[in-house]
Structure 1
């Protein structure tokens, strides 16, 4: 099987031994590692009010990481559009594209990325509500039009057309992607001729169905003449399977707590995770995650990544490195996450 291109998804995890500043420093070092290794793109997510996740503002993070790297594409995986005015998103990413031309990806999603109270706080002051999810297709069109300096958005006022544009003189626009974890997004991406990414790393369920819908219904566009997609997957690679599993367990425990309604905390270190008291359902979720995610030594991980790329017919895999750390490590680094990228990249070349 051929080896796919590699990219990175980063939620900017916060461990129990880290401050937010430490987590950002670790993410910067991870992005530089991916850049050095020749990875295709580096995407950051949008989540809010989560103790274990520092990725609250993709545009800010993208500016930071693009300035600290030289070649890799940097983007959002993704901006949760119902939380934001389309003009604000278009302006932010038009400026990023102007600052780093040809290196910016704008991935857009319709999930809130948080709890209902936080979603209300994000949108309520501007008078927005749950209808923003229903209006998502229109907001998507607005963002695309606003970033096109020759088109813009027409606002009829007193019988006249008022034109809104994200920047006065754009020469290029970010590559736009539609993200999703349901078949809704597959239908929409196909109808609009957009590149599409299904969140396979969430649960590993529904990926084949969503990609089949996208490819079958795809309508070519000027920017995307053929269906364009890739795969996302949680990955931990170490010298041995046993060490990779130990590094993966803290994240799996955190996700198990989240999915069973337990309080979410900062990501445990390996030694603390080994002593964690979990319920039966939570233990089952951790065990399932060790099987479902890519966890292993370099040879095992490379074989799994190639197999996933072949199964879903993609030539790019976006890895979400979820390894934690052991006590005493530098809090401003994520050594195990960097090692995951290094070991996987080397194994896929061999």
Structure 2
């Protein structure tokens, strides 16, 4: 019984309601979310075993987080308890030509001040098949970056495949280091990387004359990813593609490259977006779950892209879809009828 294991920070999410601005009314919608937790929840819903690793404050809020994770059958047995507080993020939800805005309140959160000795690493990696991290936790503090690096090194020692999403959050990285100072060392111990061409060149040090400040062709993406795979000895690299018409209307697709073939998903034209937050995490969960369930890369990519698409229709960080719904969408024509 193998596990997809995610390591990172989960936060309290406070969002504006409907189309109101943040604090326009006296009410905010309270949920929880964070990159790796979002992935573990969806992986579990899709039928995989998942385990979430973080540090939570030993108070009512921390225990509520665990309760909600357990309600989705996510293994919480290796969570560390301690620290001062749970991080918070506020979402001023956009609409049409008004973009969404996120405000972070994460200073002195439990995971940002956690250390290696706080975790039972044998429990963390017990029967793990994939260990997933992102560039979000290392952006918090130097100790969080050191902890993430230790974790991926330990996973590699135990012959566990490491998955890393670059996930650049420009509003973070305030402790004196830049993302390009930290993430290349973490990627060095990774097997699967979620990265676009900008990440590869600007953050991970791939040398190329291709201009990544504008849209590039699939062939140019393949050239850049060839170099990225070679530089870090990766198995596969994956990225999503998003054309933003406005806050409610996006066109999405995805690419997967395995140093041999470039796979392209079908495109989805999404209108009336309910919530864009967590969509990339749904895609990552779809890839990791797909790698556990299927053998064909094209099928895995289509499965992940369908999960990516569905999350746009669900509020909150967590994608409460099912494997059957994902497969139904990926195998459907444009006509979507009521299931009776």
TM-score (normalised: structure 1): 0.38
For CA contacts below 8 A with separation 6 or more, give which structure has more relative contact order: 1
If each structure's helix is expressed as a fraction of its own residues, which one has the higher value?
1
The normalised TM-score by structure 2 is: 0.39
Q: Which has the higher strand share?
A: 2
Larger Rg: 1
